[in-house]
Chain A
Amino acid sequence: MGKILCATRGGEASYRTQDAAIALARERGDSLIFLYVVDTHFLDRTERAVRPDVVAEEMARMGQFLLTMAQERAQAQGVQAEVRIRRGEVLEELKAAAREEGADLVILGRPGEEESAFRQVDLEAVAREIEEETGVETRIV
């Protein structure tokens, strides 16, 4: 039995990715892990004083909530999913998670029409980088 790692957030674009990952896990009989990465780099864009540690904690709670939603989505489709939260830069944490979890497949969501953590044009390069550095197959769905 293999292991699928699906990086997720929330919103319509992520729901499509989650559904694709759930369908693949059911089809292949693999276990499924949803991953949310707490990335507070957007705080660099403000000149105001903030506490990154407190913000990161709040975002981790929000991530837990979003992962619970993803878990329920999987459960509704007959798949048991585990969830993980990591803190740091998204791509680096994704690669680290793929290695540490022993994933066989990483699922990345194609960004929606709106802005995304990964721009559409960069997505292929990101997938390639994950594959080259971790040796884990990476698919864009």
Chain B
Amino acid sequence: MFLLTVSAILLVGALPQPTWAAEGAALAGRVVDFQQQPVRRARIALYLNGEEEPYVEGESQRDGTFVLDLPDEPVDAVRLEISHPHFRTATWKATWADLERLNDGSAVRLPDIVLERQLTVGFWIATLTFLAVLLFIATERLHSTMAALLGTAVILGISLVGRPINEQLFIIDFEQAIEYVDFNVVFLVMGMMIVIGVIEETGIFQWMAYQAYRLSQGRVWLLVASLMLLTSVASALLDNVTTMLLVAPITLQIALTLGIDPLALLMPEVLASNVGGISTLIGTPTNILIGSYADITFNDFLVNLTPGVLLAQVALTVYVLLVYRKQYRAASAAASPALLAQLEENARITQPDKLRKAGSVFLGIIVLFILGEQFHLVPAVTAILGAVAMLLVVRADIEQMLRVVDWTTLMFFIALFIVVGAVQEVGLISYIAAGIRLLVGDNLIAATLVVVWAGAILSGVIANIPFTAAMLPVVGFLTRSLPGASNKVLFYSLSIGAAMGGNSSLIGASANIVTAGIAERAGYPITYRTFLKIGLPAMAITVTVGTAWLFIHF
């Protein structure tokens, strides 16, 4: 019922909202920043006849618009004062022509009022807090959710306590902060958690990995290619972390059965999983963020990125076959019957009946993702409907399944949206966007290269989820302002850069970290250096292929 209610709320939320309208003498206008972006919650004070106290005050809406009604009596002078904590105050005065119209009882539409940004103390606090959150996550000094929550607490706490002392300390208030939370992302992630939670206990991934081993009949190159394809497709349809958590243990056993270094199979798999996830909206959290922000559908990702991903996978497969050729040549089939029996036992489908039902529902979910855009079904609703269907068909224990929902992860997203919203509010993101715009000029090719490669390189150093969340408004600005960028090529560039960039270092992607965790518990640690040695060239190859694809396709 809860999930159905949520679905209904999301459906209602997707409907168009009413716009402002004015009757009688009124002033209507729009407040924007220097990038022509609407400024919401700007305070607009209307002064009449040279009086010191405002006649009426209002606030600009989400789209920057405002409407202020004037009295019925004639007025001699009209002045507007537009203020916002993060901008310099602007003033507008009515001309004789404006006054004439207003005194006739007509509405006057003002030209866009452009506010100039100002660097407040709040700007520096928000910026430093954002950087600290990134640092805490990258260095693992704090759990990522804790780091994001701490950032949120600092930002809201200083805004709340500091504002009465000094207006300069204000960053963002609670209502504004909540407006930055993208609940489409939160509910999509939550729905998919339940769907995946049911599927992952069936044993299907392990069985498929074992089939790859069995069918390759000792030809290691074929096994490697099959395992890479498996993890790539599974990552695209579910997510890469789950895929690696389930496939890595059985892969390790397959490697030991063949007498080869397990890292020679695990590394190709994790590299492939990071690349494969890019194919779909639900394959990586960065795609979920991008899809929701830029209104890029499941089909858009499939059509615009899958061919590029396939090309990158081919290049990646050739690369790993070359890099690990010595290990693969050393493979032998010397495992004892007991070990082979153990491997087969560990790779069996544990719940065939549940797999049949869950598989059918999952197929339906994918079809709904593909067809949903025909009737404006937002992905979050598809995921929630899918989760409800999964729970009903599989008859899963609802208590257990709701425990599957990782509230820590959802809190991470919510807190992250608030922290990123804060730096957006104070203007940091605008400055970054303006800097990149200045750097690339009107050159879309240069902009594509900057977004892809900056994304790829930075994703290896800082976590790609907060990086992507922060880059979305930047890419949004570039998309609106650059000639020829309206096909959203820069958002696809961000998707490729952020996800493929995760291959460059151990901390670049969650799938890398969990794979290293499993390998370490089996006595085959993947060090930062080991990963860098294999992953960095892999990143360079796949990002090059990905970039080439973008240039060909767009």
Q: A38–B522 Cα gap in the complex (Å)?
A: 10
Contact yes or no, B514 A50, CB < 8 A: yes
In this assembly, does B366 line the interface, its C-beta being within 8 Å of a C-beta of chain A?
A: no
Interchain CB contact under 8 A, B517 and A43: yes
With a cutoff of 8 Å between Cβ atoms, the chain B residues found around residue A50 in the complex are 241-242, 245, 406, 514
Q: Are A114 and B527 in contact (CB under 8 A)?
A: yes
Contact with A along B368-405 (1 / 0, CB 8 A): 00000000000000000000000000000000000011
Contact B524 A10 (CB under 8 A): yes
User: B197: which of A13, A51, A61, A117 is its contact (CB, 8 Å)?
Assistant: A51
Annotate A65-80 by CB proximity to B: 1 below 8 A, 0 otherwise: 1101100100000000
B158 at the interface (CB under 8 A from A): no
Among listed A52-60, A95-103, A122-130, interface-contacting one: A52-60
**Known contacts A39-B521, A61-B249, A68-B339, A54 near B193 by CB under 8 Å:** no
B263 to chain A, nearest CB (A): 10
In the complex formed, the residue of A with least CB distance to B239 is: A48
Number of A-B contacts (CB under 8 A): 125
Q: Once the chains bind, are A11 and B522 in contact (CB under 8 Å)? A: yes
Contact A49 B339 (CB under 8 A): no
B513's partner among A10, A42, A58 (CB-CB below 8 A) is A42
Contact A48 B241 (CB under 8 A): yes
Q: Collect the chain B residues with CB atoms within 8 Å of residue A66's CB.
A: 256, 522-523
| Most chain B beta-carbon contacts within 10 A, residue among A38, A45, A50, A61 | A50
B412 within 8 A of A: yes
Main secondary structure, interface of B, reads helix
**Which residues of B, 500-554, contact A by the 8 Å Cβ criterion?**
510, 513-514, 516-518, 520-525, 527
The yes or no answer to A14 lying at the interface (CB within 8 A) is yes
Q: Is the CB of B253 within 8 A of A58?
A: no
Interface check B409, CB cutoff 8 A: yes
Partner of A43 from the list B201, B246, B404, B514 (CB cut-off 8 Å) is B514
| Chain A residues, Cβ within 8 Å of B242 | 48-50
Judged by a CB distance under 8 angstroms, whether B143 is at the interface is yes
A115-B517 contact in complex given A10-B256, A69-B256, C-beta closer than 8 Å:
no
**Number of residues in A with C-beta < 8 Å to the partner?**
35
Q: Scan B336-351; emit 1 where CB is below 8 A from any A CB, else 0.
A: 1011001100100000
> What are the residues of chain A within 8 A of B412 when measuring CB–CB?
47
Determine how close the nearest CB of chain A comes to the CB of B358; give it in whole angstroms.
13
- Is B285 among interface residues, defined by CB-CB distance under 8 A? yes
The residues of A with any CB-CB pair to B shorter than 8 Å are 8-14, 38-39, 42-51, 54-55, 58-59, 61-62, 64-66, 68-69, 72, 114-117
List chain B positions with a Cβ less than 8 A from chain A: 137, 140, 143-145, 189, 193, 196-197, 200-201, 206, 239, 241-242, 245-246, 249-250, 252-253, 256, 285, 336, 338-339, 342-343, 346, 404-406, 408-409, 412, 463, 465, 510, 513-514, 516-518, 520-525, 527
A and B contact pairs by CB, cutoff 8 A, 21 listed: A9-B522, A10-B524, A11-B522, A46-B513, A46-B514, A47-B408, A47-B510, A48-B409, A49-B193, A49-B197, A50-B241, A50-B245, A50-B406, A54-B201, A58-B246, A58-B249, A59-B521, A65-B253, A72-B336, A117-B520, A117-B521
